Amino acid sequence: MNNFALCPLQRGYTPEVANNLLEQALAGGFARQRIQFVNNVHTVTASVMLDEKIKQQYFWAFWRSHQTNPRPFLWRLIVDDTEMTTYVCQFVAGSLRVNERDGKVYSVSFGLRLKPNHTDKGFDETIIGLWESGDPRKLLNLLEKLVNEDLPDALGSL
């Protein structure tokens, strides 16, 4: 599977997080909801800056390759996490836009479908529990002290 090597621009970067729910509005109160989809995809409109000839050549070669042989590829993005994560992506047909040129420099934007990276449900529950028990920073600071100070002192010169 190919890895897309260019970095996305932060401006013009609009992820739409996957929604697995089907919802029916009611005359009053909360809507009725149920899980309709499993493994629905994120959608993202992303842009890359093509400010060098080598980047322009790479982008157009990558794009044409995936137009003649549509297939998933890997790209590092931030969607539903706090840091760059590798996602399995697919270009959305007909979504490529060449944006305003400034001489030989320009950017392109395009739509993507991304397969969600599922986090461990236990990890999510732990984070929620930390926040519900008060200030999570206090607990994390205690854990940091335990690992970095107390544990080495306890082990001594082992």
3-state secondary structure string across the chain: CEECCCCCCCCCCEEECCCCEEEECCCCCCCEEEECCCCCCEEEEEEEEECCHHHHHHHHHHHHHHHHCCCCEEEEECCCCCCCEEEEEEECCCCCEECCCECCEEEEEEEEEEECCCCCHHHHHHHHHHHHCCCHHHHHHHHHHHHHHHHHHHHCCC
Radius of gyration of the chain (CA): 22
| Range of the structural domain that residue 149 is part of | 122-155
Same domain, residue pair 67 and 17: yes
Predicted local confidence at residue 18, as pLDDT:
78
Same domain, residue pair 68 and 135: no
pLDDT band of residue 157 (cuts 50, 70, 90) is low
Number of domains comprising the chain: 2
pLDDT tens digit string along 21-51?
Answer: 788 888 988 888 887 777 788 899 999 999 9
Same domain, residue pair 139 and 100: no
CA distance 129 to 98: 46
Whole-prediction pTM: 0.72
Same domain, residue pair 76 and 147: no
Same domain, residue pair 67 and 90: yes
Same domain, residue pair 71 and 110: yes
pLDDT at 146 over 90: no
Beta strand 106-115 with 85-91: parallel, antiparallel or unpaired? antiparallel
Same domain, residue pair 23 and 97: yes
Predicted local confidence at residue 126, as pLDDT:
79
Same domain, residue pair 142 and 127: yes
pLDDT tens digit string along 97-129?
Answer: 999 888 889 999 999 999 887 667 787 787 788
CA distance 93 to 70: 10
Same domain, residue pair 132 and 66: no
Q: Are 114 and 44 in contact (CB under 8 A)?
A: yes
Greatest Cα-to-Cα distance within the chain, rounded to the nearest angstrom? 69
Instruction: Quote the tokens at residue 154.
Output: 């306890």
Task: Collect all residues with Cβ–Cβ distance below 8 Å to 139 and sequence separation of at least 6.
Answer: 130, 133
- 147, β-bridge pairs: none
pLDDT tens digit string along 65-106?
Answer: 999 999 999 999 988 877 888 999 999 999 999 998 888 899
Same domain, residue pair 77 and 150: no
